[in-house]
Amino acid sequence: MTILSTEIETLLSSVSNVYTGNMPDDPNDAVCIYLTGGFPRGLTADEVEESTFQIKVRNDSYPTGEALCDTIDDLLNGVTNSGTILGIYQMSGPFNIGRDLSNRQEWTINFRCYNLRN
């Protein structure tokens, strides 16, 4: 697990069942952090990375899952100066992507993150 995903997981410490890189089939209600690449370094050379990540939320209940998405957005969007993270900004979502094969609701939220290179 990279420093960035560890720091994001720490920011989500009040959320239950948070995983990184792979969402297991159990429990029914879960959250997963996926690092999704990012953008090429520009004027900051090697000091600052412009990373991106996606949060996937799965829940049996549509209203509960939607509320969890709002909580996650409140916890992450606009975070500044936390560890190696300089800033986190929501790019899209929460977006309901429908139901999984077990009929559970799923959402995604995409974020851009400026972080010190580790």
Could you read off the pLDDT of 11-54 as tens digits, one per residue?
999 999 999 999 999 999 999 999 998 877 665 567 888 899 99
Could you read off the pLDDT of 79-99 as tens digits, one per residue?
999 889 999 999 998 999 999
Domain range annotation of the chain:
3-116
Q: Which class would CATH give 3-116?
A: alpha beta
Residue with tokens 């690449």: 37
The pLDDT, as a whole number, for residue 93 is: 85
Residue with tokens 């009929």: 103
Is the pTM above the cut of 0.75?
A: yes
